[in-house]
């Protein structure tokens, strides 16, 4: 099968979130199953600073944008050790920018025009490269126009006649909603700007466009696929998703089991596997305590947290609960990440107030993230919503039991009392109750705690599992 995968970011070329990880791993996993995969993404400035070799294909692409024509060129690269071609659409007016979508917290005013150009350029590139495509797989609002272009403008052309489309929602909160007059830029007729197709509360909505026109819709976990059909989690689009529920399914993301493997992890003081974890993991804990300036105490519970410091991630609950556990039980915390300034300030204050128990690193460090996953006893992830989540999978592989809220991908990946601890409501009470349950197990029933660790380390989060489900879906819609 020939798969065209369209995305706005992919590690290590460009990244703002989990989409970049998916775009680096899923295409390769599909290729390893025997399929031909090509990835298209914009040639952001950071693509040329990635350190990976790129080739100018010397193919010019012309794209009508409203009443003008814009031109781009096609570049090609590959991931280290990979054989999947990544094609980059270069148009410096649109993509030669310091960041991908916004500057100093403000979205670029021409974001709609930028990604209209990209989507049309992808379709034109298929013809210029004379590619054979069976499935077009688009992702998030930035590529939401592709299923519409396939149905409304390109489907009658011989090269696109039998192409099926899949659109994946990675986070419904980001929809690509724009001024209605931006409809002119798309080249699609105004008759399609209506309640049933591309219009959403008076605006042009690119994510809705992808949802409406795709032959199949996926999101990044089964639980999230159900949640987004409800008013609470649907971000206003729950009605559209319920209408298309027969075409919607959740396929859980995988993780890079090469990059995240405690047995071969170069960042750890003492690599380990399920056979020697109880001998080696304590060395990782002591190393993490030393690195972060906490007392080396094997008897104290060490709780880790890595990620974006935002209300969505439940950081306000974490800040509210830390004093209780530090003052009454001596629990230690290591927290790594950046995000909301108010949250950062609260965490900084907690670290100043409890320097023997709370270590906060307001930065991004891949190596420290690995050491937290390996050195902590428990991993905290009390998200209010979580489309998929990755850290709860990493922590299980590393034998660090996660404490999570029963939402989205967290609900699909953590088994309460078997591989971690799960709570229902986003409240201080529920979080405290579950932390207490986890600590009681850690302190008083180590046999059961260790049983859960072994269960967690045996779970399969490989991309092969996810890729097989995508292939089954591709075959279903062909």
Tens-digit pLDDT profile for residues 263-303: 999 999 999 999 999 999 999 999 999 999 999 999 999 99
Report the side by side order of strands in the sheet with 332-336. Answer: 358-361, 332-336, 302-306, 378-381, 401-405, 421-423
Using one digit for the tens of pLDDT, what is the confidence trace for 359-377?
A: 999 998 989 999 999 999 9
| Percentage of the chain modeled with pLDDT above 70 | 100
Report the pLDDT value the prediction gives residue 212, as an integer from 0 to 100: 98
The pLDDT tens digits for 179-231 are: 999 999 999 999 999 999 999 999 999 999 999 999 999 999 999 999 999 99
Task: Read off the pTM.
Answer: 0.94
Quote the pLDDT of residue 310: 85
Q: What is the CATH number of domain 277-460?
A: 3.40.50.2000
Asked if residue 443 has pLDDT above 90, the reply is yes
Q: What does DSSP assign to residue 14?
A: B
Hey, is 368 helix, strand or coil? Answer: helix
% of the chain residues with pLDDT over 90: 95
Query: Residue 444: in which H helix or E strand, if any?
Result: helix 428-444
Mean pLDDT of the chain: 97
CB 52 within 8 A of CB 12: yes
Residues 6 or more apart in contact with residue 362 via CB below 8 angstroms = 309, 337, 338, 344, 347, 348
pLDDT in the model for residue 104: 83
pLDDT in tens, 107-145: 999 999 999 999 999 999 999 999 999 999 999 999 999
Per-residue pLDDT of 229-258, as tens digits, reads 999 999 999 999 999 999 999 999 999 888
Alpha carbons 442 and 420: distance in angstroms, whole number:
12
Span(s) in the chain for CATH 3.40.50.2000: 2-254+464-477, 277-460
What are the residues whose beta carbons fall under 8 Å from the beta carbon of 322, sequence distance 6 or more? 333, 350, 354, 358
What gap in Å lies between CA 12 and CA 88, rounded to an integer? 13
Q: Which two tokens stand for residue 262?
A: 């405690």
pLDDT reported for residue 278: 98
Q: Please tell me the predicted confidence (pLDDT) of residue 339.
A: 87
Whether the per-residue pLDDT at 403 is higher than 90: the answer is yes
Tell me the fold of 2-254+464-477. Answer: Rossmann fold (3.40.50)
Average pLDDT over residues 33-45: 98
Residue 308, pLDDT above cutoff 90: no
pLDDT at 26: 97
């Amino acid at each position: 099968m020939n798969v065209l995968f369209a995305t706005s970011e992919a590690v290590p070329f460009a990244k703002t979130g989990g989409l970049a990880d998916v775009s680096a791993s899923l295409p390769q996993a599909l290729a390893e199953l025997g399929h031909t995969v090509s990835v298209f993404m914009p040639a952001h400035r950071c693509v040329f600073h990635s350190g990976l070799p790129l080739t100018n294909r010397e193919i010019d692409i012309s794209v009508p944008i409203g009443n003008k024509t814009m031109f781009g060129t096609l570049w090609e690269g590959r991931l280290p050790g990979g054989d999947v071609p990544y094609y980059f659409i270069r148009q410096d007016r649109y993509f030669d920018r310091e960041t991908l979508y916004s500057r100093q917290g403000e979205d670029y005013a021409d974001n709609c025009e930028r990604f209209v150009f990209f989507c049309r350029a992808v379709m034109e590139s298929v013809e210029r490269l004379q590619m054979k495509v069976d499935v077009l797989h688009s992702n998030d609002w930035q590529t939401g126009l592709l299923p519409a272009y396939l149905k409304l403008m390109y489907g009658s052309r011989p090269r696109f006649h039998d192409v099926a489309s899949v659109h994946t929602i990675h986070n419904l909160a980001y929809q690509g909603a724009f001024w209605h007059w931006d409809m002119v830029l798309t080249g699609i007729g105004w008759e399609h700007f209506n309640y049933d197709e591309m219009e959403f509360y008076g605006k042009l909505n690119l994510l809705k466009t992808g949802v409406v026109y795709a032959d199949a819709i996926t999101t990044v976990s089964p639980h999230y696929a159900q949640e987004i059909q409800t008013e609470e989690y649907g971000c206003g689009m729950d009605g559209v998703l319920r209408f298309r529920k027969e075409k919607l399914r959740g396929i859980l993301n995988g993780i890079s089991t090469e990059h995240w493997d405690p047995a071969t992890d170069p960042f750890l003081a003492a690599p380990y596997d399920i056979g020697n974890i109880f001998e080696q993991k304590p060395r990782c804990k002591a190393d993490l305590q030393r690195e972060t300036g906490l007392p080396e105490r094997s008897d104290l519970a060490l709780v880790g947290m890595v990620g974006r410091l935002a209300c969505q991630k439940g950081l306000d609950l974490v800040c509210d609960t830390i004093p209780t556990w530090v003052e009454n039980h001596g629990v230690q915390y290591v927290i790594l990440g950046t995000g909301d300034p108010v949250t950062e300030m609260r965490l900084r204050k907690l670290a100043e107030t409890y320097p023997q128990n709370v270590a906060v690193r307001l930065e991004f460090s891949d190596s420290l993230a690995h050491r937290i996953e390996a050195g902590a006893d428990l991993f905290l992830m009390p998200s209010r919503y979580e489309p998929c989540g990755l850290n709860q999978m990493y922590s299980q592989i590393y034998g660090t039991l996660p404490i999570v809220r029963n939402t989205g991908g967290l609900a699909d990946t953590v088994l309460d009392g078997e591989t971690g601890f799960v709570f229902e409501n986003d409240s201080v009470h529920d979080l405290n109750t579950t932390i207490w349950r986890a600590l009681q197990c850690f302190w008083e029933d180590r046999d059961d705690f260790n049983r859960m660790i072994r269960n967690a380390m045996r779970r399969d989060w490989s991309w092969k599992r996810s890729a097989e489900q995508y292939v089954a879906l591709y075959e279903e819609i062909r």
